Amino acid sequence: MLLTRRNFIASTAVLGAAAATPAEAADKTLNFVLIGDWGRNGHDEQRAVGVQMGKTAAAIGSQYTVSVGDNFYENGVTGLDDPQWQSSYEEIYTAPSLQSPWKIILGNHDYRGNVQAQLDYSKTSHRWRLPARYYTETVTLPDGATAAFYYLDTSPFIKKYIGSKVRIEGQDSQAQLDWLDAQLAASKAQWNIVIGHHPVYTALDDSDGSDHDQPDLIARLNPILQKHAVPIYICGHDHLLQSVQVDHTTYIVTGAGSQTYTPHAAIRGGFASGAHGFMTAKLSGTSLNYALVDLHGTTLFSQSITRA
């Protein structure tokens, strides 16, 4: 297995394919769950969401979990000895189906604390995986196709954080964009899936001054997504479950891991719900079937995206 600071290649065998049931294996899909905006010491339904996510992960034969950031509220962690590692993570996501790798990215609340500690926790945890602030992973799917995942660090792109408690100083956002552009240009994978913390577009109306769409990412990140025909961008930050298609890209928000709010009606033909929950994904060489699931295990919205 080739491993560098920014890039690593893994097969489904390494990620725990043996955990899948025979029925799931016959489907020849890579199955996983995704959650964002969760770390609140079990409060605001975090624990209930974690319990249901464990049940759903077991039912679909999930091979790993993706966290789309804001792992610890309100101010990240102070270090490796911060009690939140236990109270907001280890003691919450206890289901056997959630003991497989967690692919982690950083959110703006994580940047209020010790980011290096979240990187260093990867060295001591059997499941926490944060090899760098941004990185890519290419996975071989059960049907032999490949999928490239690009895990971004979007906080440094947000101008309003400069000089705030979200300490993004020292991060080179242009270097990250250049890296992503080059990685996508060189990709031979059947799928290119980009994951960040902040939304680009959401399903919600911003006309009342609400901070849903992110103009900084629309201006700088989205042109690269469109240039390389990226079919799906997954994020958190907005404390909802959402999906909307803009410019041939499906933008999904799975930021309902703990605290949520009731949104206005969705626009742009999209879906939005303030329910607590998470996302599931089943990926093959030809299709990505995903669902937004609430804390009772009810599928609120699902869609199949077919690879062109």
What residue type is 233 in one-letter code? Y
| Tally of CA atoms within 13 A in the half-sphere of 42 that contains its CB | 11
The pLDDT, as a whole number, for residue 265 is: 80
Lowest mean pLDDT segment, chosen from 123-127, 213-217, 264-268: 264-268
Ordered by where they begin, the domains of the chain are: 7-306 (3.60.21.10)
Torsion of CA 182, 187, 191, 197, to 10 degrees: -30
Tokens of 166: 């979200």
- The per-residue pLDDT for range 219-263, each reduced to its tens digit, is 999 999 999 999 999 999 999 999 999 999 999 999 999 999 999
Question: In angstroms, rounded to a whole number, what is the distance separating the alpha carbons of residues 154 and 4?
Answer: 21
Model confidence at 209: pLDDT above 70: no
Q: Count how many residues are written for the chain.
A: 308
Model confidence at 35: pLDDT above 70: yes
The pLDDT, as a whole number, for residue 264 is: 82
Residue 262 to residues 192, 201, 274, Cα–Cα distance (Å):
32, 18, 5
Question: In angstroms, rounded to a whole number, what is the distance separating the alpha carbons of residues 277 and 36?
Answer: 9
**Taking a C-beta distance cutoff of 8 angstroms, is the pair 36, 3 a contact?**
no
Radius of gyration in angstroms for the set of CA atoms belonging to the chain, rounded to a whole number: 18
Lowest mean pLDDT segment, chosen from 16-20, 74-78, 170-174: 16-20
Model confidence at 144: pLDDT above 90: yes
Name the residue with tokens 């236990």. 86
Grouping H, G, I as helix, E, B as strand and the rest as coil, residue 173 is helix
pTM of the model: 0.92
Q: If you average pLDDT over every residue of the chain, what do you get?
A: 91
Please give the angle made by the CA atoms of 272, 58 and 118, to the nearest 5 degrees.
Answer: 70
Residue 24: pLDDT band with limits 50, 70, 90: very low
Q: Are strands 7-11 and 271-273 parallel, antiparallel or unpaired?
A: unpaired
Q: Which of these, 58, 41, 43, lies nearest to 95 by C-alpha position?
A: 58
The pLDDT, as a whole number, for residue 115 is: 98
